[in-house]
Structure 1
């Protein structure tokens, strides 16, 4: 069996004496690497000055070799903070108004991808299968191809892909599309994202549709597909069941006796729609006075990219917004909004999901949103909560028994909260069971296996003749 080479911007290296990272993606990819043997390469998260050229540092854990490299301060600023997160991230989330394109940052993005390719190439064997993760590394296959690497290379985009009108507004859209065409398999979260990619190829006249998901573009033939990422459903459900006895979860439960709990869990980002969600919750409280004093909303939003001024400003805005609502509506024995910026351990988070009668997941745009799936997996089958889910999250393509809402419609989300809190038990159980049955089958292991199976069977570089006959 050929080795698997995973490349991602950051690498979840297990630490001695600590459990392996609990996130579903890390669990699935580490399981695949353990089965096949291989390498997980990426940025160490550390940066340094320009004097020395960073070198690969390796950590061996059984059949997995973690290959890490530092970046220079300039690299981090131009590649990561610059082009990746100030151009690709907002554009792919349909926010071209927030994209800040600069030629220097664009050059840095391609330079760092070239640097990764140069560090990866000496580690490769001819039959290795390479799987590149996410928007930070779109040009990596192109750089490897220039070096003569003919291995099978797959790419999975974890964030949304916008339609042609949005994508083509990006100054270097053609180089991004050409970069994707250098892979043998390009995976997207949903059929909508895949259709947007195909639409851009066809609209610009740079792609030709073949059979069975194959395309011809930029003198290459490659396969595409939708591979909705998921979670380790059964394990997460077990986390939640055990977490009932966790001391912190017990304290949380005792603090809401007599109250219904609404929960939102999001990384700090403008794509998550947290200000609009707080507005909707406030409108719900004002329109339903019977719930005043009887419902609490817990918003967990760990700080993210705090070194970026826009995110620091967003953090202040949310704190002020929550404070205003609490000041205007709260009483001596009731706080409407509990707002946390500290990270919560995943098993404890599972217990909090289980306590919550409503999961409020309302991003303005999201590739998938695994919080929605975690909330469903964490529920008590005998008394499940209700998921309120943005129709603009990729998860809405699968979790169709959730209450689907438009996050731009504040009143609509407020009404959904009221409906969720008053929903009869039998309806809650029926909706939950349909979603849970789906997630038990379509878990993160299936996602990983489906992608790897397709990638393994794609013809290698230079051997596509069969596809043209």
Structure 2
């Protein structure tokens, strides 16, 4: 069996004894690497002023070698904070208004990808299979091909892929499309993303879509596919059941004092629709005054990319908005919105999911959204909660038992919250069981196996 080489912007190292379990993606990739033997390479998260690269930090655990590289402060600013997160991220989330293109940052993005390739190439054996993850590393295959590597190389995009009208507004769209053409398999979250990709090639006259989801462009033929990322469903369900009795979760349950709990969990990001969600909750209370003092909305939002000005501004905006709603509809003995602006330990989070009557997952645009899947897996089968889900999340194409909403429709989302809180037990169970059966079949291991099987045959 060929050795597997995984490359991602950041690397998930094995958990120390006593730590909470890693997320499903890390578990699946580590299992695949352990089975085949392999390497997981990525940025260490450290930056320095030195222009001379330090040796790779190589760590071996079992059958896996972790290869970590530092970056310079300039690299981090231009490649990560710059082009990746101020151009590719907003464009892939349909936010042309937030994309700030600069030639210096673009050059830094391609330079760091070349640097990754130079560090990775000496580690590669002739029959290794290489799996590259996410928008930070789109040009990596092109750099490896330039060095003469003929290995099978797959790419998976964890975020949405936009339609042609959005993508081709980016000045360097041709270099990005050319970079993707150098892979043997390009994987997306949904069929919609795959169609956007193929449609863009055809519309701009730079390629064609062949039978069997194959594409021909820039002198290469390669395969595309969609692979909806998942979680470790049954393991997370067992974990959540146990976590429900976590000491912090017990305190949270007592503090709710018999009120229905609504939970939202998101990184602090403009794509997550947090401000619209707070408005929808405010509208729900206004339209349903009988729920005053009978419901609590818990929004957990860890800080994200605070070095990027848009995110720093958003942090202030969300905090001010939550404070405004609490001030306008709250009472002496009731704080309607509890806003937590930091990370919460995974056992606590799993227990809170199980406690919540509604999971409010309403991104403006999302590749998949695993919070929706974790919320469902955490539920008590005898008394499951209701998932209120944005139709613009990739997960909406799988989780058909959710209450689907347009997050831009504030009043519509407010009505969905009311419907979820009044839904009968029989309907809740029927909807949940349908989605849970799907998640048991299409779990993270199935996702990993399906991608690698298609890459092997590409």
Superposition TM-score, scaled by structure 2 size: 0.99
Residues 1:286 and 2:276 aligned together:
no
Aligned residue in 2 for 1:462: none
Per the TM alignment, residue 293 of structure 1 is displaced from its structure 2 partner at its CA by 0.3
Give the Cα separation in 2 of the matches to 1:209 and 1:401: 33
Aligned residue in 2 for 1:401: 401
Q: Secondary structure at the match of 1:453?
A: helix
Cα 1:16/1:346, change in 2 over 3 Å: closer
Contact 1:184 / 1:222 at 8 angstroms: preserved in 2? yes
Greater Cα offset, 402-411 or 305-314: 305-314
Aligned residue in 2 for 1:348: 348
Give the Cα separation in 2 of the matches to 1:351 and 1:190: 29
Cα 1:129/1:46, change in 2 over 3 Å: same
Aligned residue in 1 for 2:312: 312
Greater Cα offset, 45-54 or 417-426: 45-54
Give the Cα separation in 2 of the matches to 1:286 and 1:27: 44
Residues 1:383 and 2:383 aligned together:
yes
Contact 1:12 / 1:21 at 8 angstroms: preserved in 2? no
Per the TM alignment, residue 257 of structure 1 is displaced from its structure 2 partner at its CA by 2.5
Instruction: Could you tell me which runs of 5 or more consecutive residues in structure 1 were left unpaired when the two chains were aligned.
Output: 459-469
Q: Secondary structure at the match of 1:334?
A: coil
Give the Cα separation in 2 of the matches to 1:72 and 1:387: 43
Aligned residue in 1 for 2:33: 33
Contact 2:241 / 2:351 at 8 angstroms: preserved in 1? yes
Contact 1:14 / 1:21 at 8 angstroms: preserved in 2? no
Give the Cα separation in 2 of the matches to 1:307 and 1:94: 22
Aligned residue runs from structure 1 range 204-219, under 5 A? 204-219=204-219
Give the Cα separation in 1 of the matches to 2:8 and 2:418: 41
Aligned residue in 2 for 1:466: none
Aligned residue in 1 for 2:9: 9
Aligned residue runs from structure 1 range 332-371, under 5 A? 332-371=332-371
Give the Cα separation in 2 of the matches to 1:194 and 1:433: 29
Aligned residue in 1 for 2:146: 146
Aligned residue in 2 for 1:165: 165
Per the TM alignment, residue 50 of structure 1 is displaced from its structure 2 partner at its CA by 3.3
Give the Cα separation in 2 of the matches to 1:433 and 1:142: 44
Give the Cα separation in 2 of the matches to 1:350 and 1:15: 18
Give the Cα separation in 2 of the matches to 1:50 and 1:81: 19
Aligned residue in 2 for 1:435: 435
Per the TM alignment, residue 327 of structure 1 is displaced from its structure 2 partner at its CA by 1.2
Residues 1:69 and 2:69 aligned together:
yes
Give the Cα separation in 2 of the matches to 1:141 and 1:127: 16
Aligned residue runs from structure 1 range 216-255, under 5 A? 216-255=216-255
What do you get for the CA RMSD once the two structures are aligned? 1.0
Per the TM alignment, residue 99 of structure 1 is displaced from its structure 2 partner at its CA by 0.2
Give the Cα separation in 2 of the matches to 1:422 and 1:18: 40
Residues 1:156 and 2:156 aligned together:
yes
Instruction: Could you tell me which runs of 5 or more consecutive residues in structure 2 were left unpaired when the two chains were aligned.
Output: none
Per the TM alignment, residue 20 of structure 1 is displaced from its structure 2 partner at its CA by 7.5
Contact 1:396 / 1:404 at 8 angstroms: preserved in 2? yes
Per the TM alignment, residue 245 of structure 1 is displaced from its structure 2 partner at its CA by 1.5
Give the Cα separation in 2 of the matches to 1:306 and 1:229: 27
Per the TM alignment, residue 21 of structure 1 is displaced from its structure 2 partner at its CA by 5.3
Per the TM alignment, residue 348 of structure 1 is displaced from its structure 2 partner at its CA by 1.5
Give the Cα separation in 2 of the matches to 1:54 and 1:272: 37
Q: Secondary structure at the match of 1:224?
A: strand
Q: Secondary structure at the match of 2:132?
A: strand
Q: Secondary structure at the match of 2:127?
A: coil
Give the Cα separation in 2 of the matches to 1:16 and 1:192: 39
CA deviation map 1:260-287 (0-9, x unaligned): 0000000000000000000000000011
Per the TM alignment, residue 446 of structure 1 is displaced from its structure 2 partner at its CA by 0.2
Aligned residue in 1 for 2:329: 329
Contact 1:86 / 1:99 at 8 angstroms: preserved in 2? yes
CA deviation map 1:155-204 (0-9, x unaligned): 00000001000001110111111100000000000000000000000001
How many residues are aligned here? 458
CA deviation map 1:285-337 (0-9, x unaligned): 01100000000000000011112222111111111111111111111211100
CA deviation map 1:106-138 (0-9, x unaligned): 000000000000000000000000000000000
Contact 2:133 / 2:155 at 8 angstroms: preserved in 1? yes
Per the TM alignment, residue 211 of structure 1 is displaced from its structure 2 partner at its CA by 2.0
Contact 1:14 / 1:20 at 8 angstroms: preserved in 2? no
